[in-house]
Amino acid sequence: MKVLVTGGAGFIGSNVVDLFIENGHDVVIVDDLSTGRKSNINSKAKFYQIDIRDPGMREIFASERPEVVDHHAAQIDVRRSVSDPRFDADVNILGSIRLAELAREFGVRKFIHISSGGAIYGEPVYLPCDEAHPVQPLAAYGASKYAFELYLYLYKETYGLDYTILRYANVYGPRQDPLGEAGVVAIFTGQMLQDKPVVINGTGEQVRDYVFVSDCARANLICLQGGNGGVYNLGAGIGTTVNQIFDQLKAITGYPLEPAYGPPKSGETFKIYLDSTHAKDELDWKPSVSLEDGLSRTVDYFRKTEL
């Protein structure tokens, strides 16, 4: 099967690409390398360096004729979405609609859209959040991710474009950027391995649901054939505080310092974790990597590759 993966040089997308190729699929990567890395690109994939909003995307669809689009490319910085919601919408809504239009024009069978289980629900009414939880995002990022979910439903009903929506929790693991604006596991790991000060925004009692990147990649593989028309949370279903992440990484790395605490960041949910029962029931998916094991794997990767 030929799959076009947007954002396929990024942290999560490149792990998805690798798993697709391991399972015999033909992969085309589209990535503008604004946050992705050339070193993440699988040598067996065909690569185009291009923004998803670029008119040149039409030529790529025309020549490659993918059967499935797996859409990971996005503006992912929650704080930037608060300060510049127009840019966020331009990439995450208008750029995604452009892809859906090309998928319709060139006969793509299915569109897999990566949404956000950590941002679209806002401050939860109940926990864990299932897919029926009210959508009340606190930042433009969550709003834009959910907006395109609605467009995909429209494209299926109007044009027959099938889809699956995956709402990720907080994904962590190898290839996450230790210098990025998102991803406390990578940021803390990078700082700890160099004995640099670690700053926790707010009290550190913020609760998140952490899921290892290989588990998310496996869900994408399943959805090449399954989950048509479905919306699925992907999370561990366990709430973990930022302070707990710090303590576990401190123990794994042997970090000698205590954290500093800074002001909280706007637009971020304080406490959330996800109910992934729907994915278990319909996709036979559940996390296979524990947080302890995943953090150890991540630290090992950073020791060997990043530092």
CB distance 80 to 268 below 8 Å: no
CB distance 74 to 92 below 8 Å: yes
For the chain, residues classed under CATH 3.40.50.720 are 2-171+211-236
CA distances from 279 to 53, 72, 114 (A): 31, 19, 14
Is residue 85 reached through a cis peptide bond, with omega within 30 degrees of 0 on the bond before it? no
- The CATH number of 2-171+211-236 is 3.40.50.720
For the chain, residues classed under CATH 3.90.25.10 are 184-206+238-275+289-306
Which of these is catalytic: 48, 141, 155, 168? 141
Tell me whether residue 141 is one of the annotated catalytic residues: yes
Task: From first to last of the 307 residues of the chain, give the pLDDT tens digit.
Answer: 999 999 999 999 999 999 999 999 999 999 999 999 999 999 999 999 999 999 999 999 999 999 999 999 999 888 888 899 999 999 999 999 999 999 999 999 999 999 999 999 999 999 999 999 999 999 999 999 999 999 999 999 999 999 999 999 999 999 998 877 669 999 999 999 999 999 999 999 999 999 999 999 999 999 999 999 999 999 999 999 999 999 999 999 999 999 999 998 877 889 999 999 999 999 999 999 999 999 999 999 999 987 6
Rounded Cα gap, residues 72 and 301, in angstroms: 22
CB distance 118 to 168 below 8 Å: yes
Rounded Cα gap, residues 307 and 192, in angstroms: 11
CA 222 to chain CA centroid, Å, is: 16
Per CATH, the homologous superfamily of domain 184-206+238-275+289-306 is: UDP-galactose 4-epimerase, domain 1 (3.90.25.10)
> Closest Cα to residue 171, out of 128, 225, 114?
114
Rounded Cα gap, residues 220 and 263, in angstroms: 36
Instruction: List 129's β-bridge partners, or say none.
Output: 274
